[in-house]
Amino acid sequence: MALASGDEKHDPSAHSTLDILWVLYDRILRYDPRDPRSEDRDRFLMSKGHGPLALFAILADKGFFPAEEMARFETWEGILGGHPDRHRVPGIEVSTGSLGHGFPMAVGVALALRAKGSDRRVFVLIGDGEANEGSVWETALLAGSLELPHLTAILVDNASSTRPLGDIGAKFAAFGWSARTVDGRDHEALYEALSAPDSERPTIVVAGIRE
């Protein structure tokens, strides 16, 4: 991440997700960086789109593209922009940036995998600021009523929301989700929460960041 510059305004957004994404890509997700669109992969959708540097750094570290690409972040010659583009960056499932789009897309992906008979898991990362968007709560209502045990949402809560969100896990639980709240810097707590989804309902892991 130190190689990249030009998006300092999103530094908090990039750093808040680093531990979560590392645990996901190092210990949870099944993928092959040489075949990033393999049908056998687990899907990860970065709904919030903002501050993708942590994701780019981890994708580079895991071999999706050369680490030198990080030095060309937000340049004409590079493939890494201020928001992820699935057509430019290997390993990016959806192009996001406008808030509140990737979460309902992830539900569509999860429903599509169910229709295919696939048991692959779908993970989607939402920000607490993003959770101001109405479409996030449309999707919370919808998915909470569906049998989607292979869908796990991660809501990174770094208190960036202008409107206080209160107990986010309780709100999702009220819509029918299995909800866990953990320390977003605690790798073991993240691993435990992300590796033990509910057997019937979608799961949300609220990852608190308090520094």
Partner 1 sequence: MRAQMGATLQDLMDTDPRLAIVLADISHGYFERAAAAYPERVIKVGIMEQTAVSLAAGFAIEGFIPVVHSITPFIVERPFEQIKDDFCYQRLGGNIISTGASYDYGTDGMTHYGMGDVPILRTLPGMEVVVPGTAGEFDALFREAYADGAPTYFRLAERQNLTDRAVRFGRLEVVRRGSAATIVAVGPMLDRVLEAVANLDVTVLYCTTVAPFDGEALRAETLAGDRAVVVVEPYYEGTLVPEIVAALRPDPVRIEAIGVPRRVLTRYGSADEHDADLGLSAAGIRRRIEDFLAEG
What residue ranges bind partner 1 (CB under 8 A)? 86-87, 93-95, 97-98, 100-116, 134-135, 138-139, 141-142
**b/e 36-72 (16+ beta carbons within 10 angstroms → b):** beeeebbbbbbbbbbbbbbbbbbbbeeebbeeebbee
Tell me the closest approach of the beta carbon of residue 123 to partner 1, in angstroms. Answer: 13
Q: Is 138 or 198 the residue whose CB approaches partner 1 more closely?
A: 138
Contact 131, 161 (CB under 8 A): yes
Q: Is 104 or 208 the residue whose CB approaches partner 1 more closely?
A: 104
Give the torsion sign (CA, 141, 143, 56, 181). Answer: positive
Contact 58, 27 (CB under 8 A): no
For residue 162, give every residue at least 6 positions away whose Cβ sits within 8 Å of its Cβ, in sequence order, or none: 129, 132
Angle, CA 120 vertex, CA 80 and CA 85 arms, to 5°: 15
Tell me the closest approach of the beta carbon of residue 138 to partner 1, in angstroms. Answer: 4
Query: Nearest-CA neighbor of 103 among 43, 55, 179?
Result: 43
Tell me the closest approach of the beta carbon of residue 195 to partner 1, in angstroms. Answer: 24
Q: Is 2 or 115 the residue whose CB approaches partner 1 more closely?
A: 115
Q: Is 100 or 208 the residue whose CB approaches partner 1 more closely?
A: 100
Tell me the closest approach of the beta carbon of residue 153 to partner 1, in angstroms. Answer: 14
Tell me the closest approach of the beta carbon of residue 85 to partner 1, in angstroms. Answer: 9
Tell me the closest approach of the beta carbon of residue 11 to partner 1, in angstroms. Answer: 25
Q: Is 18 or 110 the residue whose CB approaches partner 1 more closely?
A: 110
- Centre a 10 Å sphere on the Cβ of residue 191 and count the other Cβ atoms it contains: 16
Q: Is 87 or 163 the residue whose CB approaches partner 1 more closely?
A: 87
